[in-house]
Amino acid sequence: MSEPCPVTRRHLQYVADRTRADDDFLVDLKAAAKAADIPSISIGAAQASLMQIALKAARAVNVVEVGCLAGYSAIQMARALPPNGRVRTIELEPRHAAFAREWIAKSNVAGKVEVIQGAGVDVLKTFASDSADAAFLDADKENYPKYLDECLRIVKRGGLIMADNAFAFGQLFADVPDESGVHAVRRFNDYMAAKPGLHGVIAPIGDGCWIAVKE
Ligand SMILES: C[S@@+](CC[C@H](N)C(=O)[O-])C[C@H]1O[C@@H](n2cnc3c(N)ncnc32)[C@H](O)[C@@H]1O
């Protein structure tokens, strides 16, 4: 086996420079979200491409997301789906959900994305078993194990489970992390890696993105 290459910021920029960039609509969406005081914590364009490629390869039609924020990742995922594709995205904060609805309505995937306002754990429980081909977890880290268990019920066999921030906001190895979610991410990474019937890998892109197949 050749020596693994440590991934640096320079590598990530190199990857980003060779990946589809955000179009004008998505650039405007991110700028408007910032102006509306919505935190700038959506995934980046290179991670969106990785997820779109995975969704296309899996021929996904129905996708579930926990953590919509301004709608960026939901729109990007919807763009990778066929015409009958659908993204159900869950968002706790009414202000974020309202912003996302407004921008999704103006997007080229308006009919494909439904924003459901509520807590991830509660809303996921209402979704039927085997009703999705893929799920993306990108909300409060403490609840990731619960989201994973619910999504393993909701996502069909052969479907995808993706989860953001596996590198814990860049603090995975910090001795004294200054983010409360870091310990939760570490626990989740171990939980996900040990989950029977799930074949996953952390792609070192963005803040680390889990991509797994439900076997
Ligand atoms: C990192 S942002 C999501 C970014 C989005 N996926 C993107 O890349 O465009 C996390 C979002 O999860 C939401 N959130 C936090 N706790 C939640 C919960 N318990 N249920 C649903 N959403 C939650 C936050 O309000 C925030 O908007």
Work out the pLDDT band at 1, boundaries 50, 70, 90. Answer: low
> Rg (Cα) of the chain, in Å, rounded?
16
Domain for residue 145, yes or no?
A: yes
Work out the pLDDT band at 179, boundaries 50, 70, 90. Answer: confident
Return the closest-CA partner of residue 90 out of 65, 72, 70.
65
For the cut 90, the answer to whether the pLDDT of residue 3 exceeds it is no
Total count of domains within the chain:
1
Q: Which are the contacts of 23, defined by CB distance < 8 A and separation ≥ 6?
A: none
Domain for residue 149, yes or no?
A: yes
How far apart are the CA of 157 and the centre of ligand 1, in A? 26
Q: Convert the pLDDT of each residue in 21-47 to its tens digit.
A: 999 999 999 999 999 999 999 999 999
Rounded average pLDDT over 8-31: 96
Counting ligand 1 atoms within 8 A of each CB, the residue from 93, 95, 151, 179 with the most, and so the one to mutate, is: 93
* Residue located nearest, by CA, to atom 27 of ligand 1: 69
Q: Which are the contacts of 164, defined by CB distance < 8 A and separation ≥ 6?
A: 43, 47, 67, 136, 137, 138, 206, 207, 208, 209, 210
Domain for residue 91, yes or no?
A: yes
How far apart are the CA of 211 and the centre of ligand 1, in A? 18
pTM for the whole structure: 0.97
* Residue located nearest, by CA, to atom 25 of ligand 1: 93
Domain for residue 14, yes or no?
A: no
For the cut 90, the answer to whether the pLDDT of residue 86 exceeds it is yes
Looking at residue 95, its pLDDT comes to: 98
The residues lining ligand 1, judged by C-beta closer than 6 Å to any ligand atom, are 41-43, 66-67, 69, 72-73, 90-93, 96, 119-120, 138-140, 143
Looking at residue 114, its pLDDT comes to: 98
Domain for residue 18, yes or no?
A: no
Domain for residue 128, yes or no?
A: yes
Residue 155: CA atoms inside 13 Å, Cβ hemisphere, count?
Answer: 30
Mean pLDDT of the chain: 97
* Residue located nearest, by CA, to atom 19 of ligand 1: 119
Rounded average pLDDT over 10-19: 94
Looking at residue 38, its pLDDT comes to: 98
* Residue located nearest, by CA, to atom 4 of ligand 1: 42
Domain range for 84 is: 24-214
Domain for residue 12, yes or no?
A: no
For the domain that residue 112 is a member of, what is the CATH number? 3.40.50.150
Domain for residue 2, yes or no?
A: no
